[in-house]
Chains A and B, each alone.
Chain A
Amino acid sequence: MAMMTGSQMVVECLKQNKVETIFGFQGGAVIPLFDALYDEKETFKIIRPAHEQGAVHAADGYARTTGKTGVCIVTSGPGATNTVTGIANAYMDSVPLVVITGQVASVLLGKDSFQEIDITGITMPITKYNILIKDITQLTRALTRAFRIASAGRPGPVLVDITKDVLMKKDRFISYFEEPLLVCESTIEDEHAKKLAGLINTSLRPVIYAGGGVKISGAQKDLVNLAEKNGIPVVNTLMGLGTIPRDHMLSLGMVGMHGFREANFAVTNCDLVIAIGARFSDRVVGKKDRFAPNAKIIHLDIDETEIDKNMPAHYSNVCDVKKSIDSIMRYVDENKRQDWYAQIQNWKVEDRITPDMFVAKNIIGEINHKFEQSDNIVVTDVGQHQMWTAQYWNFNGRTDFVTSGGLGTMGYGLGASYGSKIGNPDRNVILFVGDGGFRMSCQELVTIAKYKIPVMIVLMNNSTLGMVRQWQHLFSNRRYMETDIDEDVDYIKLAGAYGIKAEKVQDMDSLKSFLNGFEEISEPMLLECKINKDDMVLPIVPPGEAIDEQIIDLY
């Protein structure tokens, strides 16, 4: 067996796991590892972000849109702590990542050495698994396991912390790659599928509540087939958007705090909730005892801990949701449910937005229109623009939606957008970002510029932290404390400093002419849309209220 340094072993494990792209940033403890990568420039594409947080968000976007595991390499101490928000974000949204951190040499451990931090301790609650390797004989097994754990069952981030002496030491390379995979072996019993299908067949007003698990499972088509076969309307979580085409007659869009009236009313008034790959987040449920109060709940998920965690389920099944859906489908009757459908349509209300108004709905609609025929990845940051995109983008079967759901990480979008583009060179990547989140992450413009990553950045600039301001307006007596961030940055010049083409628009006509000015997104570009700081995301369910107690319109 070949003798290798620890660093070469890491590289070998990355190759075994078919890693093509690494998001990494140099530093003292990983010099040997990057040195080993010097000889593998043809094998890996290495993207160096401006900041380690950007690397993790990029790897996260890459993983979400390719289905592969995202890989980051960073140094010890501050390099490692800078990944924490990104790891937490991936953990909350079940994104498979392997984060490799360098660590000080094992003799220096525990002595508060330079750039020493207990990163396995810090990331314990936000990783599926993590391990500190200070013995080279454990290295390859740990890395192989890391990749398996990250992608098995419900995916998530794994961190492997490797001391510098392990990276430099030589030992025999032992491969664990051929060892059996960790797989989710659970399944759905035929009798159980029949019983669940029976509940669906006998229900009068069922609703499917589909989350991000449907996407991860690759069960989008199965979901639509099930919905169509039995005429079941589908509401989505934020993470589940895109699992059913938004223009499908059975799609009601997002449910919960910013769900449209018909979606929330359908859930409140249904007699059966079929939750698929969703976790009854507080942002969906609202007041718990008034969430679908007259309904039985069927909960299908791959993660057993989600069953009965936030909402007690009457029936459940734990396995890959694609398997569950397919098995249940066999016993589901054909149905149209025209009365139920009609009732839901009656709950719709029109907003007062006219086509000439320069507001998020129209801006998003116009951009959506331009890219209607192409294969898109829509990325957002966090805040009002995120909810507007969730509400108004017409997610078709070809659109991936990349957004920070569980953690709500401002500053996520820019990194995630270029990570998505690197993984999908042939698809359009359109990022919607607010001015608040953009300020938190705009150093990553340098990465986009350096690697010439053609993403379209739509900066929805309302000169305020809009979502918080909206809450202050509605629930804090308009006491706008620390939310207005004014117009003290010239974002066009800022983009220019990085050599990125940028334009500012303030009305629909100039937006249209900007969009008409190019065919494809062939280079990085920034479009600043100057919108009103008083614009709100509506409807909104006040915090703690039932989801059918919405504020629909203020005027």
Chain B
Amino acid sequence: MKRYVLSLLVENNSGVLSRIAGLFARRCFNIDSLTVGTTEDETLSRMTIVVIGDEQILEQIKKQLNKLIEVIKVIELTPNESISRELVFIKVKADNSTRSNIIEISNIFRANIVDVAHDSLILELTGGPDKIGAFMKLMEPFGVLEFIRSGATGLQRGSTVLNETK
């Protein structure tokens, strides 16, 4: 099983998200994460879907997505030819004895401190799965109260664009 990142251009209608989510559920494909947002063209949305599977499953997913009327284009974002990042907020326990330690590690990872309370910190970090994984691991001993991950989002490198009509 491998991790694949797909980038989709879809029509910006209500129902598209549920249609795509429904397709994954119905065909027993696993979604690791899904992000969706507006694009330079207001009639279109862009989705980044991270899927876990093998080569054969990936092929089926791509074909099934392409078959949906609202899906305009599907491409795979390969690690070499694309960039993808994820945003995470981590709420960590912090008191006078641990706070500076946490800040030091955060600086190394270029994480931002976005909230400070007398017994906790919220850290904001952007990165790929390895960087986020490593940071989370380092935060664990301090006591992670909760966290939220945005799911990966990405683009192809270079001047190629998904919306070829542009």
Interface residues of A (CB under 8 A from B): 120-121, 124-125, 128-129, 131-132, 149, 303-305, 307-309, 312
Give the interface of B toward A (CB within 8 A).
13, 15, 18-19, 22-23, 26, 56, 59-60, 63-64, 66-67, 69
25 A-B contact pairs sorted by A residue (CB < 8 Å): A120-B15, A124-B15, A124-B18, A124-B19, A124-B22, A125-B23, A125-B26, A128-B69, A131-B13, A131-B15, A132-B15, A149-B69, A303-B67, A304-B63, A304-B66, A304-B67, A305-B60, A305-B63, A305-B64, A305-B67, A308-B56, A308-B59, A308-B60, A309-B60, A312-B56
**Chain B, residue nearest A306 (CB):** B63
- Give B13's nearest chain A residue, CB to CB: A131
Q: Shortest CB–CB separation between residue B43 and chain A, in angstroms?
A: 12
A426 CB, nearest partner CB in chain B, Å: 36
Extra contacts, 19 of them, besides A124-B22, A309-B60 (Cβ < 8 A), are A120-B15, A121-B15, A121-B18, A124-B18, A124-B19, A125-B22, A125-B23, A129-B69, A131-B15, A132-B15, A149-B69, A303-B67, A304-B67, A305-B60, A305-B64, A305-B67, A308-B56, A308-B60, A312-B56
**Which residues of chain B come closer than 8 Å to A305, judged between CB atoms?**
60, 63-64, 67
Closest 5 CB pairs of A and B: A305-B63, A129-B69, A304-B63, A305-B64, A125-B26
User: Most chain-A Cβ atoms within 10 A of its Cβ — which of B13, B15, B60?
Assistant: B15
Whole-angstrom CA separation of A309 from B28 in the bound complex? 13
How would you classify the secondary structure of chain B's contact residues: helix, strand, loop or mixed?
helix
A308 contacts across to B, CB distance below 8 A:
56, 59-60
In the complex the two chains form, what is the Cα distance from A305 to B29 in whole Å? 14
| Shortest Cβ gap from A288 to chain B (Å) | 14
Could you say which residues of chain A place their CB within 8 Å of the CB of B56? Answer: 308, 312
- Kindly provide the distance from the CB of A149 to the nearest chain B CB, expressed in whole angstroms: 6
- Nearest CB of A to B132, in Å: 33
Distance of A191 from chain B, by nearest CB (Å): 23
Closest to B15 in A: A120
Expressed in whole angstroms, the Cα–Cα distance for A18 and B121 within the complex equals 67
- How far apart are the CA atoms of A312 and B54 in the complex, in Å? 14
Distance in Å: Cβ of A310 to nearest Cβ of chain B: 10
Q: Looking at B19, B22, B23, B64, which has the most chain A CB atoms within 10 Å of its CB?
A: B19
Query: Shortest Cβ distance from B116 into chain A, in angstroms?
Result: 41
A308 to B18, CA, bound (A): 26
Tell me the nearest residue of chain A to B69, going by C-beta: A129
A341 to B113, CA, bound (A): 78
- Which residue from chain A places its CB closest to the CB of B70 in the assembled complex? A129
A129: B residues at CB distance < 8 A = 69
Q: How far does the Cβ of B157 sit from chain A's closest Cβ, in whole Å?
A: 27
Which residue of B19, B59, B64, B69 has the most chain A CB atoms within 10 A of its CB atom?
Answer: B69
Residues on B with C-beta less than 8 A from A309 are 60
| Distance of B19 from chain A, by nearest CB (Å) | 6
A284 to B51, CA, bound (A): 31
Q: How far is the CA of A129 from the CA of B64 in the complex (A)?
A: 13
- Bound Cα distance from A303 to B63, whole angstroms: 9
Q: What chain B residues lie within 8 Å of A149 (beta carbons)?
A: 69
CB distance from B52 to the nearest CB of A (A): 19
For A124, the chain B residues whose CB sits under 8 A away are: 15, 18-19, 22
Give Cα A129–Cα B67 distance, bound, in whole angstroms.
10
User: Which B residues lie within 8 Å of A304 (CB)?
Assistant: 63, 66-67
A153 to chain B: closest residue by CB: B67
CB distance from B60 to the nearest CB of A (A): 6
Chain B residue at minimum C-beta to C-beta distance from A138: B13
A144 to chain B, nearest CB (A): 13
Bound-complex Cα distance A129 to B56 (A): 25
**Bound state CA distance, A125 and B19, in angstroms?**
8
For residue B86, give the distance in angstroms from its CB to the closest CB of chain A: 29
Report the Cα distance A62→B119, complex, angstroms.
Answer: 71
A312 to B63, CA, bound (A): 15
Q: Which residue of B lies closest to A149 (CB)?
A: B69
Q: Which residues of A contact B15 (CB under 8 A)?
A: 120-121, 124, 131-132
In the bound assembly, the distance between CA atoms of A70 and B58 in angstroms comes to: 35
Chain A residues lying within 8 Å of B67, measured Cβ to Cβ, are 303-305
Q: How far is the CA of A102 from the CA of B60 in the complex (A)?
A: 35
Closest-CB distance, B156 to chain A (whole angstroms): 23
Q: Choose among A121, A131, A305, A307 the residue with the greatest number of B CB atoms under 10 Å from its CB.
A: A305
Q: Which A residue's beta carbon lies closest to that of B25?
A: A125
In this complex, what residue of B is CB-closest to A121?
A: B18
A121 to B63, CA, bound (A): 22
Bound together, the chains give a CA A237 to CA B155 distance in angstroms of 44
Residues of chain B contacted by A120 (CB below 8 angstroms)? 15
Complex Cα spacing A388 to B66, Å = 39
- What separation, in Å, do the CA atoms of A124 and B25 have in the docked complex? 12
Give the residues in chain A near B18, CB-CB below 8 Å: 121, 124
A128 surroundings in chain B (CB, below 8 A):
69
* A305 to B65 CA separation, bound complex (whole angstroms): 9
Query: Which residues of A sit under 8 angstroms from B66, Cβ to Cβ?
Result: 304
- Cα A307 to Cα B67 with chains together (Å): 13
Q: How far is the CB of A254 from chain B (nearest CB, A)?
A: 27
| Bound: A305/B63 CA distance, A | 5
Residue of B nearest to A312 (CB): B56
Which chain A residue has the least Cβ–Cβ distance from B65? A305
CB distance from B99 to the nearest CB of A (A): 47
- Chain A residues positioned under 8 Å from B69 (CB to CB): 128-129, 149
Q: Which residues of A contact B60 (CB under 8 A)?
A: 305, 308-309
**In the complex, what distance in Å separates the CA atom of A129 from the CA atom of B19?**
10
The smallest beta-carbon distance between A137 and chain B, in angstroms, is 14
Q: How far is the CB of A253 from chain B (nearest CB, A)?
A: 31
Q: How far is the CA of A124 from the CA of B18 in the complex (A)?
A: 9
Residue of A nearest to B64 (CB): A305
Complex CA gap A360/B150 in Å reads 62
Q: How far, in angstroms, from A307 to B59 measured CA to CA in the complex?
A: 10
